[in-house]
Amino acid sequence: MNQLITVGQLLDQTWDHYRDNFKELMTVSAWILILAVIDVLALSFYPSASELALGATLTGSEIFGVILAFISSGILAPLLGLWLLIALSRLVRFQLAGRKNDVKSGKAGSGSAGKAMLEGFQYYWSGFYISLLILLVLLAGLVIGLGPAFILAAIMQVASGGALIILFNLFLVLGIIAAFVLVFTWGVQFILAPFALFMEDQRGLNALKRSRELIKGRFWSVVLRIVIPKLIFMAVGVLLLAIIEYVIGLGITGVSGLNLDLQLRLGSLTRAAFPILIVALLNPLMVIADLVLYRDLMKK
Burial class, 198, CB count within 10 angstroms (exposed 0-12 / middle 13-18 / buried 19+): buried
| Per-residue pLDDT, 102 | 42
Model pTM score: 0.83
Handedness of CA 292, 277, 279, 32 (dihedral sign): negative
Q: How far is residue 40 from each of residues 32, 53, 82, 262, 276, measured CA to CA in Å? A: 13, 21, 22, 14, 11
| Per-residue pLDDT, 104 | 40
Determine the Cα–Cα distance for residues 185 and 207; give it in Å rounded to an integer. 17
Determine the Cα–Cα distance for residues 262 and 111; give it in Å rounded to an integer. 47
| Per-residue pLDDT, 110 | 44
| Per-residue pLDDT, 108 | 39
| Per-residue pLDDT, 263 | 67
| Per-residue pLDDT, 260 | 62
| Domain extents in the chain | 7-299
Low-confidence ranges of the chain (pLDDT < 70): 1, 47-57, 99-111, 157-162, 253-265, 267
242-249: long-range contacts, CB 8 A cutoff, minimum separation 24? 244/274, 244/278, 245/270, 245/271, 245/274, 248/274
| Per-residue pLDDT, 188 | 95
**What is the DSSP secondary-structure string of 109-171?**
-TT-HHHHHHHHHHTHHHHHHHHHHHHHHHHHHHHHHHHHHHHHHHHTTT---HHHHHHHHHH
